[in-house]
Amino acid sequence: MQKKDKKILITGHLGFIGFHLAKRLIHEGHSIMGIDSLNNYYSQKLKKDRGKVLDGINGNYISKIEDISNEEIIKTLKQFKPDIIVNLAAQAGVRHSLTNPEDYVSNNISSFLNIIKYAKDYGIEKIVYASTSSVYGGNTDFPFSENDRVDDPLQFYAVTKRTNELMANAYNDLYKINFIGLRFFTVYGPWGRPDMSIHKFTNLIINNKPIDVFNYGKHSRDFTYIDDLVEGISLVSLKKNKYLSNNYSEIYNIGGDHPITLNNLIKEIEKNLGKKAKKNLMPLQMGDVKKTVSNIKKIKKHYGFSPKTSINEGIKSFVDWYKSYY
């Protein structure tokens, strides 16, 4: 790792991934500014409780509630003068993008453009940003590789994330801003989003309510435990990479490397809850894919990233947290 006194801006720091990353980097001694719009896509209480955890850490940390899709955010960035920006602020959720595409333009494209404008005018070491495995769309070549075609998205969420990747490439070519994009694969763990399947299933099973199981539970996902993901983000943000030149716009897959079916995921939740699920077996949803598998050879080679957490360990940690929080 490089020296421990970096000034790091994390957008979306009250979101699931941003919270865990901020917590780690504050503990490591970095100067952290977190910016979050605190929108109401899901429970503001959960976000505020994450914020209370961060506030309780003894470290150099500033939290701002601002909308980065507004150009006024550049003034805040000028005051902090970050060395590195980790852009995790986004409108998440594949389903929501089918009915509310306009949310994704402002939150995923306009916001990213403002971050880039700051970097262009005031200089920065690098921008690390969240992309998604959804950019692989209907790809049926497994595992997904960074060199695969990504011009066949199945929902608007993926369109906006692929747009971010193209924006990064263009601004790197034009202005020599360094970018690293990370294609996340189905992240889960404590403090996770309530709209994610593990969270929803746990809640419904505990409350003796049926769960909707799409594609009859046969589709599989490359679930990535949050601590493993944060380790990967930290590595690409702080570690020197001998494989990159001084000027780069690079993409990496970051996944759990062990996909499982939805049916097996449900069995793991049932085991940890000591309760059987009541299932509504249903066909595949519009905009969904049957399988995701990450090829993580590139990030392993360049940064030494290797996920450590099994699905058994990860689900146990999530269920333990869920029971203690709710």
Which is catalytic among the residues 157, 171, 225, 322? 157
Residue 154 lies in a domain: yes
Instruction: Give the position of tokens 């940003």.
Output: 129
Residue 269 lies in a domain: no
Residue 213 lies in a domain: no
**Predicted local distance difference test score (pLDDT) of residue 1:** 45
Residue 113 lies in a domain: yes
Residue 91 lies in a domain: yes
Residue 77 lies in a domain: yes
**Predicted local distance difference test score (pLDDT) of residue 96:** 73
Share of the chain above pLDDT 70, in %: 99
Residue pair 190/318 in contact (Cβ under 8 Å)? The answer is: yes
Residue 192 lies in a domain: no
Give the tens place of pLDDT for each residue, 5-42: 899 999 999 999 999 999 999 999 999 999 999 988 88
Instruction: Give the position of tokens 């009541």.
Output: 278
Residue 283 lies in a domain: no
- pLDDT above 90 for 108: yes
User: What is the number of domains present in the chain?
Assistant: 1
What is the pTM for the complete model shown? 0.96
Q: What is the CATH number of the domain that holds 245?
A: 3.40.50.720
**Predicted local distance difference test score (pLDDT) of residue 4:** 64
Residues spanned by the domain of 230: 7-186+224-255+294-307
The type of residue at 209 is: K
**CA–CA gap between residue 8 and residue 50 (Å, rounded):** 19
Residue 253 Ramachandran class (φ > 0 left, ψ -120 to 50 alpha, else beta): beta
157 catalytic residue (yes or no): yes
Q: What are phi and psi of 119, to 5 degrees?
A: -60, -40
Most confident of 2-16, 63-77, 162-176: 162-176
Q: Which residue from 36, 230, 233 is spatially nearest to 129, judged by alpha carbons? A: 233
- pLDDT above 50 for 98: yes
